[in-house]
A and B are shown apart, each in its own frame.
Chain A
Amino acid sequence: MSARTLPLLFLNLGGEMLYILDQRLRAQSIPGEKARKVMNDIITTMFNKKFMEELFKPQDLYSKKALRTVYDRLAHASIMRLNQASMDKLYDLMTMAFKYQVLLCPRPRDILLVTFNHLDAIKDFISDAPGILNQVDETFRRLMETYNCLSDGEFQLIRQTLLIFFQDMHIRVSIFLKDKVQNSNGRFVLPISGPVPWGTEVPGLIRIFNHKGVEVKRAEFTTAGNYVTPQREGSFELYGDRVLKLGTNMYSVTRPVETHMSGSSKNLENIAPNPLAKEELNFLARLLGGLDIQKPAGGETGFRLNLFTTDEEEEHAAQTRPEELSYKVINIEATQEPGRRAELSRILGEMEVAEPRPDSAEKGEDLLALMDGL
């Protein structure tokens, strides 16, 4: 419902993806140089200037299918490859992690702090590449410009829009189960203790005023909750202590990333007739047009990343994934062939991406057909 939700969704999911990839690259003992190249390539693509411009335009959230396709492309922006099963698992982890963060944010505005936590960590990943660092800082500034002035009500609308996107997802994540932040039925634990959000008082006080506005009585009530006043507010500046831990990296080499397939996920989009809206196709076309895809030269520089502990596990996961949790990814293979790239550029040039026009429905279908044919 809020037209400002997509950048936050994209950046936070992207941030989680990088945490997981970083952990897996270490766990699989990928040589430091290769690992750094993968991370740098993905981050460069994620923060591509044209990409960000498109992202920050006010618009509705993209469908789950379209968004999943974008991350598929992102994950393959470098010399690394992932099988379908690993990509599915990666996406499950990303989405459940961000769902958890959105749900547990004390104030809706704190989603911005979560985003800043992700960006702070991303800057750490590329601390040796000043060029990319610049891009990330640019995005940081754009975030601050766009969001710092929004009201609490607008942030709550963004939060509600995100929660609709994540509704009915109850995939169990090992690290969450172990830390007891998720129950065995896949639902997150919502604590009724700890600091109250900044700007909220600890519940318990009733104040009565007379008709002149003078306080005449105080009373207290108690509940099972055990709340305390917060110490300080997190920083919304370019640099600063965010205070909030949500959005920081919860993975380390010793904590493996596992999921258990469970629960139904009544996809809200099973009702919608078209998998991709015209705007989503434009966005994807832009992404594909702008991508500089590294083709793995033979088997020397490229490698495959496995989100599972063994190849057998990955194979098994692929075969046993429940139907209702299938992402039905649209296979769009962009190629390096000059002919194809020119075609895409031509289409991009023709389409006025900024203003959606009611009569352009046919163009969208053409592009979809073209992509199917690639």
Chain B
Amino acid sequence: MAAAGSGPYRRERSLALRSSSSALYNNLAVLCPPARPPAFGAVHGTTLSLLGNEGPPRQLQARGGGSALSIPLLTQAAWCELPSRVLLVLTSQRGVQMYDSDGSTMVFWHALDIPEHPAAHSMFARGISAAGGRFICVGTSFGAVLVFDIPPKGTNVTLSEVLEQHRDPVTDIAAEQGQAPDGAGDLVTADDSGTLCLWSTGEEFTLLGKIPGSGSSCSSVTLWNGIVAAGYGNGQIRLWEAGSGQIRAQVSAHARWIYALDLAPLTGKLLSGAEDSFVHVWKLSRNPDTDDIEIQHCHAECVTDTQVCGARFCDPAGDTFAVTGYDLSEILCYGPA
């Protein structure tokens, strides 16, 4: 089947980071404002390196908690685009920090409830997404998903709901980036056991369906036109029908643990990055006759001697993308050939 309009990519410039990226899932945040160059963020231990489209690079620190002597580690950072505003959200071992989109002002801080006795399991927040045009959802290591209600401006963020459907640490959360078919839900949450939960967002979130894990951890997830694309620890990408929970495609995509997935909503291009040093570009589509979900391989990039930990498209059509790797002090950019 001819792949229309999905030409090859080539490596473009690299952007220098002040510090190297840590081996964390989805470790590249990108903000693509229209008609402006993108802004990037990558986590390094306790700090987030920000490369803005304006002004000098900036570093944000994880916020410590009380009597702790050491600064907590960050787990993830992401820009959350809501109709009224864009917030930069950081998750750490202690809690959730929300900033203005350029990272200049902290808007909100939520501390995780640290249990009385030190837990055998670790405590952290991880998994960030805007949802329902009004909320920001953040996952936790004890499986709960925190739903924050974000006012159009100001700092009066409130914890609106706590969703308790996952029994394993949450890994990633994704909101519908296209048009959800009826009954398909507009949010998907994923956890360490590979379990996916599908939600309908609103004043009260409703669980629409649960896809049980099958032995492999799900580290990254996207949702587009009712198609869930999930990346797993065994290197597989699976496509699920959000409405029915049925599996529609299975790809032996990578030779190692997948660390990042991203989707370009205008074209349905899917980007995957893994520990095996490879970044792949795929094309999702729906066959109008059979209603089958199709996925084709478009392009492969090998980032020599690097374990990829972040990969994101830098425009909604997926003509450009950026990649981070463990121990790499730069962001690699790729564009149309």
Identify the A interface with B (CB < 8 A).
1-4, 58-60, 63, 103, 106-108, 151-154, 156-157, 159-160, 163-164, 167-168, 170, 183, 187-190, 192, 196-197, 199-213, 216-217, 219, 221, 223-225, 227, 266, 268, 271-274, 277-278, 355-356, 358, 361
Contact = CB atoms under 8 A, between A and B. Distances in A.
Interface in B262-305: 276-278, 280, 290-297, 300, 302, 304-305
B296 A219 contact: yes
A58 B216 CA distance: 25
Interface string B73-98: 10100000000000000000100000
B39 to A, nearest CB: 23
Given A201-B235, A202-B252, A273-B69, A183 B119 contact: no
A154 B234 contact: no
Interface of B: 19-20, 22-24, 44-47, 61, 66-67, 69-71, 73, 75, 93, 117-122, 124, 168-169, 171, 191-193, 215-217, 219, 233-236, 241, 244, 246-257, 276-278, 280, 290-297, 300, 302, 304-307, 326-327
A164 B73 contact: yes
17 contacts: A1-B124, A58-B118, A59-B118, A107-B257, A167-B20, A196-B255, A197-B255, A203-B255, A205-B252, A208-B248, A208-B249, A208-B292, A210-B292, A219-B296, A225-B276, A266-B19, A273-B69
A204 B252 contact: yes
A272 B23 contact: no
B interface: dominant SS: loop
Contacts of A159: 23
Contacts of A212: 246
Contacts of A202: 252, 255
B252 A216 contact: no
Residue of B119, B249, B256 with most chain A CB atoms under a 10 A cut-off: B256
Residue of A1, A163, A361 with most chain B CB atoms under a 10 A cut-off: A1
A226 B22 CA distance: 27
Contact of B22 (A164, A200, A201, A266): A164
A202 B302 CA distance: 16
Nearest to A3: B122
B255 A190 contact: no
Nearest to A165: B45
B69 A108 contact: no
B232 to A, nearest CB: 9
Contacts of A273: 69
Nearest to A60: B70
Nearest to B24: A160
Contacts of B291: 211
B42 to A, nearest CB: 12
A190 B69 contact: no
Contacts of B296: 206, 219
A227 B302 CA distance: 14
A225 B305 CA distance: 13
A3 B217 CA distance: 19
A103 B20 CA distance: 16
Contacts of B23: 159-160, 163-164
A361 B70 CA distance: 13
B217 A209 contact: no
B193 A153 contact: yes
B252 A2 contact: no
A230 B326 CA distance: 26
Nearest to A58: B120
A106 B117 CA distance: 34
Contacts of A199: 215-216, 234
Contact of B69 (A192, A208, A216, A272): A272
Contact of B122 (A2, A107, A163, A361): A2
B126 to A, nearest CB: 9
B326 A108 contact: no
Contacts of A219: 296-297
A156 B217 contact: yes
Given A153-B233, A187-B305, A209-B248, A108 B327 contact: no
Residue of B19, B70, B192 with most chain A CB atoms under a 10 A cut-off: B70
Contact of A223 (B168, B171, B250, B300): B300
Which 3 pairs between the two chains have the least Cβ-Cβ distance? Answer: A153-B192, A221-B297, A201-B252
Contacts of B46: 268, 271
A1 B76 CA distance: 13
B218 to A, nearest CB: 9
Nearest to B168: A153
B251 A206 contact: yes
A203 B307 CA distance: 16
B235 A160 contact: no
Given A200-B234, A202-B255, A168 B71 contact: no
Residue of B117, B215, B235, B252 with most chain A CB atoms under a 10 A cut-off: B252
A209 B246 contact: yes
A272 B70 contact: yes
A102 to B, nearest CB: 10
A207 B326 contact: no
Given A58-B120, A156-B217, A210 B247 contact: no
A210 B248 CA distance: 6
A157 B47 CA distance: 18
Contacts of A204: 252
Given A151-B168, A206-B249, A206-B297, A278 B327 contact: no
